[in-house]
Homo-oligomer: A and B are copies of this chain.
Amino acid sequence: MNKKSNCLSDLRERILSQDIAPGSGMDEVSLSAHYEISRTPLREILHRLAGDGYVEIEENRGARVSSMDLSVMRVFFQTAPLVYSTIARLAAENRTGQQVDVLKSTQVSFAAAARAGDTADAALLNHQFHEQIGQMAQNPYLLISLKRMLIDHTRLSQTFFRPQSEADSARIAKSIDQHDAMIAAIDAREPALAIDLTLRHWDLSRDQMEKYVRPDPLPLDVISMKDRRNAI
């Protein structure tokens, strides 16, 4: 039983971290061998992942990780503000005290991982943080949408928590602060504030994702290339 739930969560994490690339096929035999379970429970796991939107299953053609083509991403950027802010509002209205405690505890772990530069952990804990806000909204219909958006969001923001410059570190610090402010707004039951903070948080994340999708162009000046060549 432990092996099975371990397999499920591990596959989820590997998909979220793009350790298994979008669009890549998932062979039942090799996966079942790897996780030391037979094909029957593994197939069940694949179907659950399909239900959650992690993978897509085609008749007689097996499962493949949900793709992230350009048309999907366009819709993602279009839809995220609506879903995120609605969820934030409902969370501020409906959260229980216990849920706030859980959220705070996740935030502590997240901040530690993000500051320490544990990229994978930070991304996963960030995912968890936002999913918990989704739980607080107490709205199963919108929660599903949020969960599916978060899958793509986490995959897209894979570089977010890997600081490569001073500006990156500042951005991470800002992100942590925004989380704290969001917790405060939800805790204080202030829907309007929660929406506002969520939209700011989205702006920050969106800018970074755009950089990931459309990175800085390679340098055009031949001089620096020459210098490098000499160095080799």
A residues apposed to B, CB below 8 Å: 40, 43-44, 47-48, 50-53, 71-72, 75-76, 78-79, 82-83, 86, 138-142, 144-145, 148-149
A5 closest partner in B (C-beta): B59
Task: List B contacts of A82 (CB < 8 A).
Answer: 86
Task: List B contacts of A43 (CB < 8 A).
Answer: 44
Given contacts A50-B51, A86-B82, contact A141 B75 (CB under 8 A): yes
6 pairs of A and B residues whose beta carbons are closest in the complex: A51-B51, A47-B47, A145-B145, A141-B145, A144-B144, A79-B141
- Selected from B52, B75, B142, the residue in CB contact (under 8 A) with A79 is B142
Task: List B contacts of A48 (CB < 8 A).
Answer: 47, 50-51
Task: List B contacts of A44 (CB < 8 A).
Answer: 43-44, 47
A137 closest partner in B (C-beta): B75
Task: Give the one of A79, A86, A149 with max B CB within 10 A.
Answer: A79
Instruction: Evaluate contact between B75 and A139: CB separation under 8 angstroms.
Output: yes
A57 closest partner in B (C-beta): B48
CB proximity of A171 to chain B, nearest CB, Å: 25
Bound-complex Cα distance A82 to B85 (A): 13
Question: Contacts A47-B51, A78-B139 given; 14 further ones with Cβ under 8 A?
Answer: A40-B40, A44-B44, A44-B47, A47-B47, A71-B138, A75-B141, A79-B139, A79-B142, A83-B141, A83-B142, A141-B148, A141-B149, A144-B145, A145-B145
